[in-house]
Chains A and B, each alone.
Chain A
Amino acid sequence: MGEIVFKNICKSFGDTKVIENLDLTIKDGEFTVLVGASGCGKTTLLRMIAGIGPATSGELYIDGEEVTDIPPGKRGIAMVFQNYAIYPTMTVRGNIEFGLKNKKIPKSERDRLIADAAEVVGLTPYLNRMPSQLSGGQRQRVALARAMVKTPSVFLLDEPLSNLDAKLRVAMRTELIELHHRLKTTFVYVTHDQTEAMSMADTIILMDGGKIQQMAAPEVIYNDPNNIFTAQFIGTPPMNVHKMRDDVNYIGYRPEKIQIFRDKPTDCTYVRKVKVITREMLGSETLYKLQILSDAENEKEPIMSKSLDMSFAVDEEVYIGVPKEDLYYFDANKMRIRETDMLERLYCTTEGDK
């Protein structure tokens, strides 16, 4: 119903090129989450799909059809805008109803759809209010409801939960996942929040500077990153990465994969002696900031470790070890090196420990 294909798409505003030569296929019926730092072009991408900020060049297909000449209203798309864009001159009901009226849906049907949508987003008591009398989060839910009633073939959601409190956000997240299960249409969902991305997505698209860094299922993004950017973007705290001794390549390992020992371990590929700088209790886990005890320039940066063991004290000197399978290697261009045997032999063994 709604496969979206970008072919060699470019987008510039005046002289600034925001997106260059983008090729991308968003699969039909999938929940695709677009993540990336602020200003990387996520909204721009959605607006191209919606047809309200057309690409400068290239071809865009929705459901196999070139859509350049199809007006936004005829593309079968519903969008939740980042800044809501709800109509200030209409009541909540009027906002939700507007698109339905334009589609000439009969009154009784409209009323039913509105009642349903309002119930889902919890706005039933507010249907006759003006937007100016609503809180930010309530306005955001109006925008959501307005999109939901339209039963589109593609849903575009630009950070639709950013203004909700934690509890409501989790509830709405579930609602959206259920909605997706029910409608089985294509969802493209933009977020800053990587937990949201990891928990909701079938596929994550990670963008940086108008380019796609990696596009894969959440577990692949986490376990098998293509480059340092992806490796460090997903996961909190981010993956520890530092230059290897050859001063060319990089080595990385996730904070939660680090094992901490009082005695020097023997079965780990990567072993370093470290000193505990700070210690932060997170509840079930403890966050340690560690300094590698070495004179090497490349290992000066402190590393982070997340451990279930809370017994290590500040200033204590301990050993860390990372198993072979949890080590990642990247080349000088910060791209992943998957042929690692040689690198491991050369740089990783306990010889780093002094």
Chain B
Amino acid sequence: MKKKVNILRKLFPYVMVIPTMILLAVFVFYPLVNMVYLSFFDYNLIKEKTFCGLDNYYRIFFIQTDFRDAFLNTLIYMAGTTFFLLFLGLVFALWLQRDSKFNAIAQRLMFFPNICAGLAISLIFQWLMDDEGLFNMVLGFFDIAPLRWLNDSTTSLLSVMIVAIWKGIGYYALILLSSVKSIPTELIEAADLDDAGKIRTFFKITLPMLSPQLFFLLITLTINSFKVFDSVRLMTGGGPGNSSDVLVYWIYRYSMEYNKYGLACAGGTVLLVILLILTVVYFRVIGKKVHYQ
């Protein structure tokens, strides 16, 4: 009798997580495994799938240049948005940390883009960045030659990044603001008494105190920027040429538009591996230096 109760008690937690696990298995684990599996096949939904070894990987890395372009663009996009979102987020957080009416309003306004639909923002910026759009009108007003923004292969990726930064800045500033505010004021005062100066106080006290949050944001930001898709698809379609193509959009095109599932899965697997490596590296290397407690 007693034994039965014990077994039930031990089983109970597992029973409770079964629904989640089933959902995860169906919608996450199975597709993941299947993706890796399919990446070793020549497969396009119609033809019989045939095993081709590492052929797909060879093709995307060494024969087709568009994957490499997308890959490089994604790296640039990741580095740019991550850096500027963290940097500007921190700047705004420091700027907004004093309680005042103005700051309260500024904070809300900055958060606003974040609650707008990505679709709407993409469309608005498409209009703003049009050849005859508002941005060029403003530039013209100052007698600066107009830019072709999304339609020029040198600025298209940059334009997409600007939109992403504009959209995300409020969110990251808000998170960093709450951490800045949670630093005990006595610490800053003690540094004042220690005659540390504003800059030294920032680098020796404020920044280390923020490092856990910055680290967390760094991880989520890099991972999220690897997944960029909708803004690219809506605003540039990866173009002109492949100048603003990114990994996920490449995968999307190869699966949904070209029906080359084997290649798409190989690309997806590469993405998966990169994200795994990034996460492990982050936690191993930076994680150690960050958590001071």
* Chain A interface residues (CB < 8 Å from chain B): 47, 50-52, 71-74, 77-79, 81, 83, 85-90, 98-99, 102-103, 130, 132, 146, 150
CB-nearest residue of chain A relative to B186? A85
Within 8 A of A (CB), among B173-198: 184, 186-187, 189-197
Q: Are A99 and B195 in contact (CB under 8 A)?
A: yes
Would you give the 0/1 interface string for B197-217, flagging 1 where the beta carbon is closer than 8 Å to chain A?
A: 100100011001101000000
Q: Are A89 and B205 in contact (CB under 8 A)?
A: yes
- Kindly identify which residue among A72, A74, A132 contacts B292, using a CB–CB cutoff of 8 Å: A132
Cβ contacts under 8 Å, B186 to chain A: 81, 83, 85
Cβ contacts under 8 Å, A72 to chain B: 189, 192-193, 195
Cβ contacts under 8 Å, A78 to chain B: 193
Besides A73-B194, A89-B205, 8 other CB < 8 A contacts? A71-B192, A72-B193, A85-B184, A85-B187, A88-B209, A88-B292, A89-B208, A89-B292
Q: Are A52 and B193 in contact (CB under 8 A)?
A: yes
B221 to chain A: closest CB distance in Å? Answer: 23
Interface: B64 (CB within 8 A): no
Cβ contacts under 8 Å, A85 to chain B: 184, 186-187, 189-190
Cβ contacts under 8 Å, B193 to chain A: 50, 52, 72-73, 77-79, 99
* Inter-chain residue pair count (beta carbon < 8 A): 70
Q: How many residues of B contact A (CB 8 A)?
A: 20
* Chain B interface residues (CB < 8 Å from chain A): 184, 186-187, 189-197, 200, 204-205, 208-209, 211, 292-293
Pairs A-B, 5 closest by C-beta atoms:
A73-B195, A85-B186, A99-B194, A89-B208, A52-B189
- Kindly identify which residue among B184, B194, B211, B293 contacts A98, using a CB–CB cutoff of 8 Å: B194
Cβ contacts under 8 Å, A98 to chain B: 191, 194, 196, 204
Cβ contacts under 8 Å, B200 to chain A: 102
B126 to chain A: closest CB distance in Å? Answer: 45
B17 to chain A: closest CB distance in Å? Answer: 33
A154–B209 Cα distance when bound, in Å, is 29
- Kindly identify which residue among B189, B190, B191, B292 contacts A130, using a CB–CB cutoff of 8 Å: B292
A48–B194 Cα distance when bound, in Å, is 16
Q: Are B192 and A73 in contact (CB under 8 A)?
A: yes
Cβ contacts under 8 Å, B191 to chain A: 87, 98
A79–B190 Cα distance when bound, in Å, is 8
Cβ contacts under 8 Å, A47 to chain B: 189
